[in-house]
């Protein structure tokens, strides 16, 4: 099941409830939205934000891994240099805790990056398919070509 299908299953309209409408399609009679031949225009999509968010997740993953990798070398020699101090054990515990936390953030960002790219691809393909399907419809002339 694709992400879009799953979204519709979870959040789609139920029992005639609110539904998503294309701005270029006449609204349902009695809804009061839009003019004849067009909806209220409240659905606008671009894959730009999804792709950008995926890139940001990837960048965060990279910087998190860089930071996590630097923690270990930054603590080298502490055990031998501070032998006998009780704070060494506490510091080791804090180091382990932060390494685990940063690893979790890194892994979550990696998963999120892939999911966001999948959404961008699905939404982009859906937009392209819809645009293609309207090419042969009367009225989809000069105004649509400018978009």
Q: Dump pLDDT digits (tens) for 35-70.
A: 444 545 454 555 578 888 999 999 999 999 999 999
Q: How many beta carbons lie within 10 A of that of residue 108, not counting itself?
A: 14
Q: What is the pLDDT of residue 132?
A: 77
Nearest Cα residue to 24 out of 128, 146, 143: 143
Q: Can you tell me whether residue 114 is helix, strand or coil?
A: helix
Q: What is the pLDDT of residue 59?
A: 95
Residues of the chain with pLDDT under 50: 32-37, 39, 41, 43, 140
Give CA 23 to chain center in angstroms: 24
Q: Which two tokens stand for residue 109?
A: 């960002």
pLDDT at 24: 56
Average pLDDT of the chain, as a whole number: 75
34 CB-side CA count, 13 A? 18
pLDDT of residue 36: 46
What is the rounded CA–CA span in Å between residue 19 and residue 12?
7
pTM of the entire structure? 0.52
pLDDT number for residue 61: 95
- Grouping H, G, I as helix, E, B as strand and the rest as coil, residue 74 is helix
Q: What is the pLDDT of residue 35?
A: 47
Residue 10 has a pLDDT of 66
């Amino acid at each position: 099941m694709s992400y879009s299908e799953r979204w519709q299953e979870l959040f789609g309209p139920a029992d005639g409830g609110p539904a998503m409408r294309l701005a270029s399609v006449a609204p349902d009679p009695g809804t009061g939205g839009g003019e004849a031949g067009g909806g209220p225009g409240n659905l606008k999509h671009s894959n730009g934000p999804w792709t950008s968010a995926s890139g940001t997740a990837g960048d965060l993953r990279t910087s998190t891994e860089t930071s996590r990798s630097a923690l270990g070398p930054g603590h080298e020699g502490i055990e031998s240099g501070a032998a006998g101090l009780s704070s060494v054990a506490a510091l080791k515990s804090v180091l382990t805790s932060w390494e685990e936390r940063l690893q979790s953030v890194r892994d979550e960002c990696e998963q999120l990056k892939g999911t966001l790219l999948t959404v961008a691809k699905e939404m982009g393909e859906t937009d392209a398919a819809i645009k293609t399907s309207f090419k042969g419809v009367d009225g989809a002339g000069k105004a649509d070509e400018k978009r």
